[in-house]
Amino acid sequence: MASPTIALCLIMKNEIKNLPQLFASVEGCFDEIHVTDTGSTDGSKEWVLEKGQEFAKCPVHLHHFEWVNSFAKARNYSFSHATTDYIAWMDLDDCLSDKDAFIQWKQYAMEFADCFFATYHYALDKDKKPIISFVRERVFKRSLNPEWQYDLHEGIVIKPDWAKDYATSWSILHMRRSEEHTSE
């Protein structure tokens, strides 16, 4: 029996500095990637079209969504393009912690739940060790029609009848660049 398929859905605006790192971290992990652009002007769209598939080793699709001040609507639009059994999401300044562990999880464990939570290492020290971590919803069975809620600080409300699990072999690293931090 073949393992289930999974898409990565991303929303993007002016992420040219983050694209190579994110795409390298997910190389070989996904069956398709959907990048929903919300108005990039820094070459991000061109990078996705020219280099995305080479980095990710899977089909990469670029979609346009006119920004309406809602991260939830942009994520729902991105999810609407997935054709796989499961859908995962990340931000463009994130990286997958261990692509080999993710591939093994995908092949042997993903099919056993409807949605998965994973650790999100939100803040890292100068040696890239986690100093702030929490759990986020990360992977959903597409047939459940997961829907993002809330315009800012968006999330998916998990239904009680969904089989839930926690992916422990991989996590997401928030790789915010030091120049993006403020002293305020």
Residues 137 and 87 sit within 8 Å (Cβ to Cβ): no
pLDDT over 50 (residue 93): yes
Q: 148 with 76: CB under 8 angstroms?
A: yes
Please report, rounded to a whole number, the percentage of residues in the chain having pLDDT higher than 70.
95
Confidence of residue 3 (pLDDT cuts 50, 70, 90): confident
Over residues 152-168, mean pLDDT:
95
- The pLDDT of residue 1 is 64
| In the block, residue with structure tokens 């997961």 | 146
Sheet of 94-96: strands edge to edge?
60-64, 32-37, 6-12, 86-89, 130-141, 115-124, 164-174, 94-96
What does the pLDDT read at residue 2? Answer: 80
pLDDT of residue 181: 44
Average pLDDT score over the chain: 94
Residue 161 has pLDDT above 70, yes or no: yes
Q: What is the pTM of this model?
A: 0.94
**What pLDDT does 55 receive?**
94
Task: Measure the CA angle with vertex 91, ends 94 and 72; round to 5°.
Answer: 155
Q: Which residue has the tokens 């100068």?
A: 126
Q: What is the pLDDT of residues 30-79, one digit of tens each?
A: 999 999 999 999 999 999 999 999 999 999 999 999 999 999 999 999 99
* Short-list 69, 70, 84, CA closest to 9: 84
